[in-house]
Structure 1
């Protein structure tokens, strides 16, 4: 994804990430580390400002975590399960984020996920988060999961394992509505945001492309008594694109 969703040179990418974080700082300091985040995954010029608003919440809490459970949807290959890669790390111009390979192997052995390198090789929803994660803490380990058409309960169970581990941050990568006019997208995304803030695990693909993972997070969070608030809600018409066909972006924090 280097050179497509974000700059291919490390100095340029670092400068862009830093600028996005500086320009989208929260008005109030986060009192406690978030247990989970929902962030968008388009090119940084489009969704980066919204994603940065959520990642800013980690600036003073990055050392609270040892690993990140990062889930996102399959955009390019069909998948009826949850898939993890067999590689030891994910690379971007800012460095390599090591995977928690022992934990991933355990999940595969238990049948909770399966190995599928191809679905990860073609997918951008995980990799576009790496510049923010590496900037926050280059020593985190990553648990990258592509959630295809998997049962909601299975996704909620997997996410619950992350939420129940105090040193694991859960991140779900998802955009909201796609290719509506600006005003229509705003109405759709506001309604979707209300569902998320009420922890209603009933989102459909036309509301959020990562609805499988989002619904799993909402179900797991509700069972644990977590609350969620909207950090930012915009679309590509607000950031870098035209307003006739926009993509919605939302950032949410769970505590």
Structure 2
């Protein structure tokens, strides 16, 4: 039997019932899939997508995932990086699991790519970082809904220099069959207008590929984000903001909000 990473945040961040989850995803994806601007987006090489509960960040995440519809049968591998919220550590954590499970079924792990990543000194097997982490898990049902068959390279990111993350991404970059996916929210617990101001500055830094301009208070996933920006600049990619909102726009109070942005790299 394969070693399986079971769901940790189903029924918390997203519905645990498969039928309800499909309905939720299809509702979230319906608007961007019918949007003229999203339909005319070129398929991305990389995305930055938020990772809160679907009621909060789902509409913004859906804006990013809708851009994958034209290449749903081409993307066969997703390299997914997200920050560690529960376990502090240095470097990047790979998983020894062979399958990540969701209510929509199993997601196979690209074991060969994991082994390649483990040849770098900043990457190690560390299952504890994956066990309860939501930043990767919440992306999987979206991927299962917008892609056909794909395998996953899941990496939780601890304390690391942008160059260390960039080196891992460069090793796993691949061709058009590979999507690079970074999971990150933006500002946390500011008032609505302060969050808008700070998140706009973060978006400008992302579009300018300036990792040095993104501080620790601007994005919980700033370390993997800054790794992507470092490599995107080197590889000549361009970045575009697809959506920028916060929890005050979706399902929460405006007294304290969390910012969410969706970004595509071509």
The TM-score range, normalised by the shorter chain, is over 0.9
The 2-side partners of 1:164 and 1:157 are apart by: 13
The 2-side partners of 1:31 and 1:250 are apart by: 16
Greater mean deviation of Cα atoms: 243-252 or 26-35:
26-35
Q: Partner of 2:224 in structure 1?
A: 213
Instruction: Give the one of 88, 93, 111 matched to 2:98.
Output: 88
Shift of 1:112: 4.3
Whether 1:37 and 2:47 are equivalent positions in the alignment is yes
Whether 1:162 and 2:151 are equivalent positions in the alignment is no
Please say if residues 36 and 163 of structure 1, whose CA atoms lie closer than 8 Å, have aligned partners that are also in contact. no
Write out per-residue CA displacement over residues 107-155 of structure 1, whole angstroms, 9 at most, x where no aligned residue: 2134341101111002100000011001112410000111111121110
Q: Partner of 1:253 in structure 2?
A: 264
Cα distance change on mapping 1:185 and 1:142 into 2, 3 Å: same
Q: For residues 46-195 of structure 1, what are the structure 2 equivalents within 5 Å? A: 46-195=56-205
Q: For residues 233-252 of structure 1, what are the structure 2 equivalents within 5 Å? A: 233-252=244-263
Structure 2: gaps of 5 or more residues: 1-8
The 1-side partners of 2:96 and 2:17 are apart by: 26
Instruction: Give the one of 3, 16, 20 matched to 2:11.
Output: 3
Structure 1: gaps of 5 or more residues: none
Please say if residues 69 and 146 of structure 2, whose CA atoms lie closer than 8 Å, have aligned partners that are also in contact. yes
The 2-side partners of 1:66 and 1:120 are apart by: 22
Q: Partner of 1:27 in structure 2?
A: 36
Shift of 1:201: 0.9
The secondary structure found in structure 2 opposite 1:215 is helix
Instruction: Give the one of 199, 204, 208 matched to 1:198.
Output: 208
Greater mean deviation of Cα atoms: 189-198 or 20-29:
20-29
The secondary structure found in structure 2 opposite 1:60 is helix
Please say if residues 203 and 241 of structure 2, whose CA atoms lie closer than 8 Å, have aligned partners that are also in contact. yes
Shift of 1:221: 0.5
Q: Partner of 1:229 in structure 2?
A: 240
Q: Partner of 2:20 in structure 1?
A: 12
TM-score (norm 2): 0.93
Shift of 1:61: 1.1
Please say if residues 97 and 138 of structure 1, whose CA atoms lie closer than 8 Å, have aligned partners that are also in contact. no
Shift of 1:60: 1.4
The 1-side partners of 2:23 and 2:83 are apart by: 28
